[in-house]
A and B are shown apart, each in its own frame.
Chain A
Amino acid sequence: MENDYLLEVKSLTTRFHTQHGVAHAVNGVSFGMYPGEILGVVGESGCGKSVTAQSIMRLIPEPPGRIEKGEILYGGKDLVSLSRKEMQAIRGDRISMIFQEPMTSLNPVKTVGKQIGEVYALHRGASKKESLEKAVEMLEKVQVPEARRRVKEYPHQLSGGMRQRVMIAMALACDPEILIADEPTTALDVTVQAQIMDLMLKLQEKQKTAIMMITHDLGIIAEMANRVIVMYAGRIVETAPTRTLFHETGHPYTRGLMDSVPVIGTKDSEGNSRLTEITGMVPSLYDLPEGCSFAPRCPHQSERCRTEMPPLFAVSPGHEVRCWLCESARVKGAAA
């Protein structure tokens, strides 16, 4: 490999063939993940952030979905071309995932200890007793109090925050290299969210797991991510180190997103303050506009934007922006 990526996604294209037509969920997404980093993926509903994650995990329901094009390179293999069995050996062992609503991803009729232990037994061939010990150890690691008692409980006996801890314990049981977290705190209250974010950062520091943090919340991105990918209508529109993204924002969509979030302590002395809004709405994935997908809502749009899709322009090391306004910067190879 010519780069030091742990995981590399190349020109990923995932579509859903439904009775309403073809939904263009992910349209040629390329990015890499470095070992041990926290990569934030941010965007609004339908931007393709979750479908990208599900494509990496090979969890796209087929049909109606299909990975039409692209490669997902990990450990010298292309995950897209692996058999179901080969993928199962990687999923949950080397690459794990946690979801927004832990209740729907946990089995309601099995104790949490059994569910955590199962992962370990499956991938490491551990005995029943070893697996249960592992479950206790993992629950302690994710700071569940009275772990030895809790392993015997069922998901419904736990609060939302505790359930998400159980999910994290399951995901980390085999010490994976990559953890994909899809809106892991969105369903939680803000004080519980703070607990889970704190836990994830501590575990990440200790275990050096690379985390792909998918969220719609720029606050979580700012606090957790080292690097950020911003997605819109199935494409990456900007990628940058976190500080650069916030201080030298390149894409008009990223700018709009930041301006439209109410931030505590920014209200003027006049009292009620209007927010800067992005006009219009996200285009339909069944019928994406020609040219730049953001053009219909963009304050800087020109004739060219409406007809020609801009490539990703590299404006500084590690900072790429898909906008004609950045054309003066050097074009990034053919990867766009």
Chain B
Amino acid sequence: MTSLLTVENLKVHFPVKGGFFGNSEVVHAVDGVDLTLERGETLGIVGESGCGKTTTGLAAMKLIEKTHGNIIFDGTDLDTLNADGMRNARRKMQMIFQDPFSSLNPRMTVNRAIGEPMKVHGMGSESERQDRVAWLLEKVGLSPEQGNRYPHEFSGGQRQRIGIARALALNPMMIIGDEPVSALDVSIQAQIINLLIDIQQEFNLSYIIISHDLAVVEHICDRIAVMYLGKVVEEGRCDEVYSNPKHPYTKALLSAIPHPDPDHPRDRIILNGDVPSPIHPPSGCSFHPRCPNRQEGCDLVEPELEAKEPGRKAACHWC
């Protein structure tokens, strides 16, 4: 069987007004990303602010216009679909967001918010839909009675549960979670991570988890793609990337995470400076100005994302 999702050479460029004379400049938010998501798999996309991870997720669902590239979902190139076809495809791909409060309509009861997608897609009768909403609420750890309440009556963790129930309503094949636990306190974060793991098995879901938190991603993902300035710089199985990172950026990123154990060895790689602007990305390898292993030529030739070992890719001339 084919992969569930294949993203080929995805580019998303945003025009911005810049300069004194209003010259138009371009933000290279996503600049040539290839990704695959296998059925039943969880892929993590990690990187720091502005690396293009969220834009990649949105473009993969055609929630924003891409500049270039192909998105093949469940064997179909999304560009070949008309409006009806796209609506059908969207049933199978759902998204959950970082802040569930801003993605829930404050004037809709939870029952309505979860039932709405089914209504839009003409699923079942009114009473069947009501039964399914009640069933979904129980699945995500809420009680059906809570369905008559409004979003503001719930805590952050509960609202994320509601967001998950709504994503499950149409029985999707894939869920993209954009920082799904970042806004939550750690004790609640663990509850939601466990819920995501449980429903994945029960609903036979494939996940893309977008996060800046490498520990969260390691816990739920099978594979991981590390992004920097709109490009994937390293990709591979989670356990391999974490135990033996190849790209110098991945190494620095992993070493920067504070470890909750006072006896853990400190061999932190401190990077210089900040992430450069995606309007004027550096020449050659975009990481070269901050790279501790920079060599001659890194500023001239852009490294390709290529296989370094079976199942392991990295975009670096020297690893």
Write the residues of chain A forming the contact surface with B, with a CB cutoff of 8 angstroms: 44-45, 145, 159, 161-162, 189-195, 197-198, 216-223, 242-243, 246, 256-265, 267, 271-279, 281-282
Contacts and interface: CB of A to CB of B under 8 A. Distances in A.
A262 B254 CA distance: 14
For the complex of A and B, 9 pairs with smallest distance between CB atoms? A219-B258, A260-B190, A194-B256, A189-B48, A44-B185, A278-B187, A218-B260, A275-B190, A277-B190
B26 interface: no
Contacts of B260: 217-219, 221-222, 246, 258, 261, 263
Interface of B: 42, 48-49, 155, 157, 185-191, 193-194, 197-198, 200, 212, 214-216, 218-220, 222, 239, 242-243, 252-264, 266, 268, 270-271, 273-275
A197 B258 contact: yes
Contacts of B157: 281
A286 to B, nearest CB: 14
A261 B274 CA distance: 28
Nearest to A226: B262
Contacts of B190: 259-262, 275-278
Contacts, number: 131
Contacts of A159: 274
A274 B191 CA distance: 9
B42, B157, B198, B264 — which one has the most chain A CB atoms within 10 A of its CB? B264
Contacts of B271: 191, 194-195
A260 B155 contact: no
| Residue from B185, B194, B216 whose CB has the most chain A CB atoms within 10 Å | B185
Nearest to B219: A262
A273 B219 CA distance: 6
B253 A264 contact: no
A222 B49 CA distance: 25
A293 to B, nearest CB: 14
Nearest to A256: B187
Most buried by A among B188, B239, B263: B188
Contacts of B215: 261-264
Contact of B49 (A189, A271, A275, A281): A189
Contacts of A258: 260
Contact of B262 (A217, A242, A277): A242
A264 B263 contact: no
Contacts of B220: 272
Contact of A264 (B49, B186, B259): B259
Contacts of B239: 267
Given A246-B260, A267-B218, 19 more contacts: A44-B186, A159-B274, A190-B212, A194-B271, A197-B258, A217-B260, A219-B258, A243-B263, A246-B261, A258-B260, A260-B186, A260-B187, A260-B189, A264-B257, A271-B222, A272-B197, A272-B200, A274-B194, A276-B190
